């Protein structure tokens, strides 16, 4: 296939991407994928040393990156960080709202504080970031927003009521942004990964019973790796995905097809 066609269709040269929760795990894999496609990437994490380590690793791969440590649940901190990026010539063209947390417990045991903690990071965090970048994107004629939802937004399981509810809210927010800002040239989509092998899921990876369930339930019979998810973000952020809007894309090895 013609290299120029690939670069024109899937390349991100000249674009700046902010990926929240990208100091490690899935977020870092997404940052690497977008960076390899030519984007400048902004690495966000709560921890500055982790941000800086991720930036150094990407630099060794030839990716231009900079750290932006802030708490996505802090509305003013997000607004200021996005404004500072724009002032430094790093206005955000692509936002990937990936930062998240988890707790696993029966619904009746869920303390209100634990419930609110998940919504604060997943839902408030996405809202804060989306609200901060939209004016910049609209002023420049467009942009791309990808929210990290989950298959749990569609088919839940015991013990993740708060997580599933928050991910369902992100799917709804995706549709709202797509409808409200499509005319401004901004696309908004969500990914619904299945079970991804990261530090986030270590507790499940160590359970033989859960691994047996996963092998029975996922037609591809394995965990997803971060590198299985990241290219979907590249597709949505590139010209190849420019007419995809308001969509929840499942990347689950066929899990939802069987459930």
* Residues with active-site annotation: 163
Kindly give the pairing relationship between strand 186-193 and strand 143-148.
parallel
Return the C-alpha torsion angle 18, 20, 24, 30, nearest 10.
-50
Angle at 201 between CA 21 and CA 97, to 5 degrees: 25
Structure-token pair, residue 118: 């998940």
Alpha-carbon torsion (31, 37, 38, 39), positive or negative: negative
Q: Is 72 helix (H, G, I), strand (E, B) or coil?
A: coil
49 and 24 in contact (C-beta within 8 Å)? Answer: no
User: Which residues in the chain belong to E strands, given as ranges?
Assistant: 16-19, 40-43, 65-67, 94-97, 143-148, 186-193, 248-251
Q: Is 106 helix (H, G, I), strand (E, B) or coil?
A: coil
């Amino acid at each position: 296939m013609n290299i120029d066609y690939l670069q024109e269709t899937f390349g991100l040269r000249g674009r700046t991407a902010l990926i929240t929760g990208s100091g490690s795990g899935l977020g870092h894999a997404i940052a690497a994928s977008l960076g390899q496609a030519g984007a400048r990437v902004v690495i966000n994490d709560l921890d500055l040393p982790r941000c800086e380590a991720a930036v150094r690793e990407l630099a060794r791969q030839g990716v231009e990156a900079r750290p932006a440590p802030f708490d996505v649940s802090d509305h003013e901190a997000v607004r200021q960080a996005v404004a500072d990026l724009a002032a430094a010539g790093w206005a955000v063209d692509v936002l990937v709202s990936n930062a998240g947390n988890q707790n696993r417990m029966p619904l009746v045991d869920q303390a209100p504080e634990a419930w609110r903690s998940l919504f604060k990071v997943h839902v408030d965090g996405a809202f804060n970031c989306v609200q901060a970048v939209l004016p910049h994107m609209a002023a420049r004629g467009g942009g791309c927003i990808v929210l990290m939802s989950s298959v749990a937004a569609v088919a839940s399981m015991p013990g993740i009521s708060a997580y599933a509810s928050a991910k369902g809210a992100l799917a709804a927010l995706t549709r709202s942004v797509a409808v409200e800002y499509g005319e401004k040239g901004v696309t908004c989509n969500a990914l619904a990964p299945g079970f991804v092998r990261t530090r986030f899921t270590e507790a499940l990876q160590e359970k033989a019973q859960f691994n047996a369930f996963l092998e029975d339930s996922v037609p591809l019979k394995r965990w997803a790796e971060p590198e299985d998810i990241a290219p979907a973000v590249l597709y949505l952020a590139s010209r190849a995905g420019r007419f995809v809007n308001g969509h929840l894309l499942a990347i689950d090895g066929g899990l939802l097809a069987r459930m």
